[in-house]
Every structure is written in structure tokens, then in C-alpha cells.
Amino acid sequence: MKKIIFFGTSDFAVPALKALLNDERFEVVGVVTQADKPVGRHAILTPPAIKKFLASAVPARTGIPIKQPLKLKDEDFKSWITDIGPSCDAFVIVSYGKILPQWLLDLPKKGIVNVHGSLLPRWRGASPIQAAIAAGDALSGVTVMLIDAEMDHGPLLATADEKILAEDTGSTLHDRLALLGGHILPDILSDYLEGKIQPQEQDHEKATYCKILSRDDGKLDFTKTADELERLIRAYDPWPGTWMEIDGKRVKILSAKISQKADETKPADRFVRNSSPCITCADGTVLEIVRLQPEGKKAMEGSDYLRGKKSW
């Protein structure tokens, strides 16, 4: 039985941890996740998804220590992991959210194995799922790789493809990739630890990058085409969301579709067709707003929004 410490925080990491816990080839001797954080308008202290999973699930093995260091160099955490780490065959990291320092990378016998939500070297970085949809990629997938000192730069162990559907949002693709990662991880990890897989260097010249997203990144830029904006709206659902300003107030754009070319007799930037809000974009393309949420109000259909507007 191979000894593993698992690093993970978000929902994306849950299927991978679940798969390892229920595989008799592995013993998860510790789980490292981020600290509980205040969430929502009332700042309710909320545990990360991995901690909630361990509290509610009935895993194959119980009594696993859960560590939530504010910083990886915290004395208590560093003492614990430097004591137990060298006896581990590997660490596994999935959507942990912090960069691991070199002293930690060097602890386990065969390094640190990562599950990343893209087909590396495409979309290195923090938002690969959103980036793939926004770019109009036909394929996404997951990569199982070894971590090195650079971001998503280490050698590859395996990849698995997942088709991006025309209706995919960041949420739907995220969920499929999380399950795919959990499905392929145990066999790949086992084969690597037994020497059946040799890590392969990435083609670094083909690398593309994506960044950490903020709410400001969701502001729609209507100098782009309707096709680009429709993909962005799907990609940024649910995070960071997309929005525009109307009469000085922020309006969330929840869903949209590509309409026909603009009616030349209507104003150049906004017009109404079929009782839905429509906006002319680059190259004469038209974006029809299907569903939106005005500031301080509930989500509504675009047609309902228009009925309450004197002008658009």
C-alpha cells in the first residue's frame, strides 16, 4: 500500500480524494487544505469543500489528520509534514490554491503528482477551464503531471480528453473534468509509483497561459464580437460572472445567445428585437440577452426586464 498525503481545497479536488480513499492500493495518511474562510454578505466562516467532504462522507479509511495551515511555513505544519513526508511515496495535489515551496517538493520519495484541468501545455495557470471555453477550444481535458518549481511546467504522466460542448459553462465543464480526474488518477498514480510510466517533458514552446480571475474581468467589452462574448458569458458562469453597466448600475448577464445582424435603422449600440434586449457588437454581430440580474434584484428573463424599462 502506497502512502500519500493529499493537498486540495475546492470542489474540483473532491473526486480525486474520494477515488484515492476508496482504492486499496493507497493509504492517505494526511490531507492538507486551506483554512476556513468567511463567505457571503454575513461573512460566515465556512470550511473548504475538501474538509466538508471528509466530514460528511464515509470514506474507506477514517481518522485521517486534516491540516489547514495559514502558511506552509507555519511551525506546527512544517514540523508535522517534514516528519511524515519522507516516508510517503508521493504527495498528490489537486486544486489546492497555493504554490508549494521547494523544501516541500523535495520531501516525498517520488515527488508530487498534480491533476490539472487542461491539456497541458495549453492553459497553464489558475483558470484553465474558463480559458478553454472563452477561446473556443474544441477540446479540454485533464493532465496528470509531476510538479516542479515553475507553474504547471513539470513533466507529464498522462492526459485525458473531454469535448467542450456548445452549451458548456464553466460550471458544467468543471464538473465533468473533476470526475474525469478522479477516474484516471488512481491507475496513473499506481503505474507511476511502480515504474510503469516514465514522465515526459512538456513541449514548452506550445505553452499558453491563463490568470487568476477577478470580478472586474467579467465586464463585457462590446468591441468584441457576439461570438466572443457569448463564449465568455458561458465560460465565466458561475465565476467570476459577467456584467455590464446600464444607467450607472451593474447588471449581471447570466445567459445570452447570438442573434442576427443589426437592424441598420436602429441605434448603433442598443436595440430591441423580439422583445429581448439586444446589443450590437464588433463586425455587426448581435448579442441577445436571454437572462440577467439587475443590481439589488432577482434574476429575470431579458423580456421581463425590457417590459419594466422605458427605453433600451
Identity (one letter) of the amino acid at 202? Q
Look up residue 241 and give its DSSP letter. Answer: -
**Torsion angles phi and psi, residue 3, rounded to 5:** -90, 130
Q: Where are the alpha helices (DSSP H) in the chain?
A: 14-21, 49-56, 75-84, 102-105, 128-134, 170-193, 226-235, 302-307
H or E stretch covering 113: strand 112-116
**Torsion angles phi and psi, residue 275, rounded to 5:** 60, 20
**What pLDDT does residue 83 have?**
97
Identity (one letter) of the amino acid at 284? G
Q: Which part of the chain is CATH 3.40.50.170? A: 2-210
Q: Which part of the chain is CATH 3.10.25.10? A: 215-307
Residues of the chain with pLDDT under 50: 60, 262, 264-268, 271-273
4 strand-pairing partners: 28, 90
**What pLDDT does residue 58 have?**
58
Look up residue 221 and give its DSSP letter. Answer: -
Give the CATH architecture of domain 215-307.
Roll (3.10)
For the domain covering 2-210, report its CATH number: 3.40.50.170
**What pLDDT does residue 39 have?**
85
SS3 146: strand
